């Protein structure tokens, strides 16, 4: 049983998805899907424990040995990614039943569960597999289901947003497919480890170069790296609250994981960062993204949209950490992957509570909300402080590592820029705080009552986690450090 954990991670949600369609009954389906999510989370906890205790796990699908068969390979990095993706998946779905009430018709909620589980399968699959083509397949599984999830948004604007995401996402995925094809052409293998051993190829540099370019651009599209972020704000703003919370916390993070995997485990640090100097290309994009997106966020009136732009900025931070290509920089990037997932997940869930009561996420309607929905807004404030990077929140830990990484390289300017960008976060977070606490309540806010416990508890679970991981970091930054060192040493 224990040796079968890696396939179970994928198979459980995958098989559960069609069962949801068969069950149809709203209550039964929701209960079933939630149980499945928590079981998936349990599997990933067990996996991480085993990886930390005894090193990487290798599982050969169907008993076919690599490099011919598909191999699942779990080291500290993807065990960590699996853990938080499944964990947030479970918490968000627990939050979902009440939140979906108004946004998705009851008759379609069983379909929502099925698609949600498929999306989770896709994301987990990307993280767990050691096979390049498998990455593409799972990427499309998660992407196609997320288009459907976004299109379930209550307002019609969700539809063009989903379509736009579909076009951009498909282009990105196809770019990745081209990249994988070219890599296969040069190396004759699809197994990551095997390919890493065969790279770089003498004499075939140009094709590999084109492959790297296609892959990088494709992944950048999927993870919404500035300036390829165009699809993200609308998709997040108009999707159902549950979907936004889930996707914001996991989807782009998994794409960042792919980038890490390709850069460090497949291309290798020497090829990617010394021969190709990808770091020098990513660094300015990351910084530009952080600043432009943060500034745009300040001027948004739809708060979900504001948080979406903030997400684009946060992706910039992660890429910044990667572009350092040092142990501390990677630790910063990876730990921010995790911390930001918690923070943004919690914030979007708080917005879900607001959406439930106000039927709006416009800043004007949120005036005075601190009085009528104190717990929701308190969660929002703590999450906001995390975005800023105030001590004793998870965001502070990320920020600490980013600055330490920059200073270790002697890049004081970069350190200063990172700090200045957190001040932009103060600007957009505080705009909401002032509106919610010091303005006369709007009509909608006056009629609003506190969100139900079934939503508050999951929200506070994530928000509480941001505080917990701001103080006790062995399970976040400690694991991230281990993952970073493993990446720099090639495949473990």
Partner 1 sequence: MFASPLLTVLVVPLVGALAVGALGARPNAREAATLITATTLFVLVAALVPEVAAGGRPAVELFEVLPGLPIAFELEPLGMLFALVASGLWIVTSLYAIGYMRAHDEENQTRFFVSFAVSIFGAVGVALAGNMLTLFLFYEVLTLATYPLVSHHGTEKAVRGARTYLSVLFTTSIGMLLLAVIWTWVIAGTLDFRPGGILAGRAEGGVLIPLLALYAFGTGKAALMPFHRWLPAAMVAPTPVSALLHAVAVVKAGVFTVMKVIVYIFGLDLLSTTGVSEWLMYAAAFTILTASIVALQQDNLKRRLAYSTVSQLSYIVLGAALANAWGVIGGSMHIAMHAFGKITLFFCAGAIYVAAHKTEISDMRGLGRVMPVTMIAFMIGALSVIGLPPMGGTWSKWYLSLGAADAGQLVLVGVLMVSSLLNIAYLMPIPVRGFLFAPPDGPERPAIKEAPLFCVIPICFTAIGCVVLFFYSTDLLNLLQPLAGP
Partner 2 sequence: MADVLGLYNYWVVIFLMMTGFYIVISRRNLIKKVIGLSIFQTSVFLLYITIGKVRGGTAPIVADGFEVYSNPLPSVLILTAIVVGVATASVALALVVRIREAYETIEEDEIFEQDR
Residue 409 binding result from partner 2, partner 1, none, given CB thresholds of 5 to 8 Å by partner type: none
Residue 367 binding result from partner 1, partner 2, none, given CB thresholds of 5 to 8 Å by partner type: none
Q: What is the rounded distance in angstroms from the CA atom of residue 465 to the CA atom of residue 394?
A: 8
Residues 158-217 that bind partner 2 (CB under 8 A): 159-160, 162-163, 166-167, 170-171, 174, 177-178, 181, 184-185, 190
Applying CB under 8 A, which part among 211-219, 303-311, 350-358, 402-410 lies near partner 1? Answer: 402-410
Q: What is the rounded distance in angstroms from the CA atom of residue 112 to the CA atom of residue 117?
A: 9
Helix (H) or strand (E) holding 371: helix 369-372
Residue 61 in contact with partner 2, rule: CB under 8 A: no
Nearer to partner 1, 101 or 391 (CB): 391
Please count the residues of the chain.
492
Q: What is the rounded distance in angstroms from the CA atom of residue 374 to the CA atom of residue 377?
A: 5
Fill in the per-residue mask, 452 to 481: x = in contact with partner 1 (CB under 8 A), - = not in contact. Answer: ------------------xxxxx--xx--x
Computed from CA positions of residues 248, 251, 254, 258, in that sequence, does the dihedral angle turn out positive or negative? negative
Q: DSSP assignment of 146-173, as one string? A: HHHHHHT-SSTTHHHHHHHHHHHHHHHH
Q: What is the rounded distance in angstroms from the CA atom of residue 393 to the CA atom of residue 471?
A: 7
Nearer to partner 2, 175 or 267 (CB): 175
Applying CB under 8 A, which part among 60-68, 169-177, 285-293, 394-402 lies near partner 1? Answer: 394-402
Residue 327 in contact with partner 1, rule: CB under 8 A: no
Minimum Å distance from CB 141 to partner 2? 9
Fill in the per-residue mask, 338 to 377: x = in contact with partner 1 (CB under 8 A), - = not in contact. Answer: ----------------------------------------
Do 12 and 40 touch, CB atoms closer than 8 A?
yes
Gyration radius (Cα) of the chain, Å: 21
Residues 417-446 that bind partner 1 (CB under 8 A): 419-420, 422-423, 426, 430, 434, 437-438
Number of amino acids touching partner 1 (CB under 8 A)? 32
Residue 312 in contact with partner 1, rule: CB under 8 A: no
Residue 145 phi, psi (nearest 5): -70, -30
Residue 136 in contact with partner 2, rule: CB under 8 A: yes
Residue 144 binding result from partner 1, partner 2, none, given CB thresholds of 5 to 8 Å by partner type: partner 2
H runs (alpha helix) in 230-277:
232-238, 241-260, 269
Q: What is the rounded distance in angstroms from the CA atom of residue 113 to the CA atom of residue 84?
A: 19
Tally of CB atoms within 10 A around 61: 17
10 Å CB burial of residue 156 (0-12, 13-18, 19+) is exposed
In the complex, which residues of this chain contact partner 2 (CB under 8 A)? 133, 136-137, 140, 144, 147-148, 151, 156-157, 159-160, 162-163, 166-167, 170-171, 174, 177-178, 181, 184-185, 190
């Amino acid at each position: 049983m224990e040796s079968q954990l890696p396939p179970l991670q994928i198979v459980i949600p995958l098989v559960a998805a069609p069962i949801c369609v068969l069950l149809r009954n709203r209550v039964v389906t929701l209960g079933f899907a939630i149980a499945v999510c928590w079981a998936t989370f349990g599997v990933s906890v067990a996996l991480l424990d085993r990886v930390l205790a005894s090193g990487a796990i290798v599982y050969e699908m169907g008993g076919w040995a690599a490099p011919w068969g598909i191999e699942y390979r779990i080291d500290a990095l993807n065990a960590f990614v699996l853990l938080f993706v499944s964990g947030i998946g479970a918490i968000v779905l627990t939050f979902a039943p009440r939140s979906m009430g108004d946004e998705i018709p009851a008759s379609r909620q069983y379909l929502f569960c099925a698609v949600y589980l498929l999306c989770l399968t896709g994301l987990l699959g990307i993280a767990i597999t050691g096979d390049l083509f498998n990455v593409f397949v799972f990427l499309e599984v998660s992407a196609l289901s997320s288009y459907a999830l976004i299109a379930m948004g209550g307002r019609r604007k969700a539809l063009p947003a989903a379509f736009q995401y579909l076009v951009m996402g498909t282009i990105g995925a196809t770019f990745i497919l081209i990249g994988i094809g070219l890599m296969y052409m040069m190396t004759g293998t699809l197994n990551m480890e095997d390919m890493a051993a065969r790279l770089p190829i003498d004499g075939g540099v140009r094709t590999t170069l084109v492959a790297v370019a296609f892959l990088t651009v494709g992944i950048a599209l999927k993870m919404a790296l500035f300036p390829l972020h165009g699809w993200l704000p609308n998709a997040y703003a108009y999707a159902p609250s549950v979907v936004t919370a889930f996707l914001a916390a996991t989807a782009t993070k998994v794409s960042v994981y792919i980038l890490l995997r390709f850069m460090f485990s497949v291309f290798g640090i020497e090829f990617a960062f010394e021969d190709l100097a990808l770091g020098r290309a990513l660094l300015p994009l990351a910084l530009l993204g952080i600043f432009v997106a943060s500034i745009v966020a300040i001027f948004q009136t739809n708060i979900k949209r504001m948080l979406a732009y903030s997400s684009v900025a946060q992706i910039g931070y992660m890429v910044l950490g990667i572009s350092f290509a040092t142990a501390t920089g990677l630790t910063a990037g990876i730990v921010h992957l995790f911390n930001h997932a918690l923070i943004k997940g919690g914030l979007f869930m708080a917005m879900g509570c607001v959406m439930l009561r106000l039927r709006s996420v416009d800043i004007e309607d949120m005036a005075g909300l601190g009085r009528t929905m104190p717990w929701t807004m308190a969660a929002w404030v703590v999450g906001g402080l995390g975005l800023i990077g105030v001590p004793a929140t998870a965001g502070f830990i990320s920020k600490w590592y980013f600055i330490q990484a920059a200073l270790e390289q002697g890049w004081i300017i970069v350190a200063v820029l990172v700090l200045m960008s957190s001040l932009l976060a103060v600007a957009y977070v505080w705009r909401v705080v002032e509106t919610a606490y010091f303005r006369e309540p709007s009509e909608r806010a006056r009629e609003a009552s506190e969100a139900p416990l079934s939503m508050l508890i999951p929200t506070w679970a994530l928000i509480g986690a941001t505080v917990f991981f701001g103080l006790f970091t062995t399970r976040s930054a400690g694991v991230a450090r281990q993952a970073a060192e493993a990446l720099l040493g090639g495949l473990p």
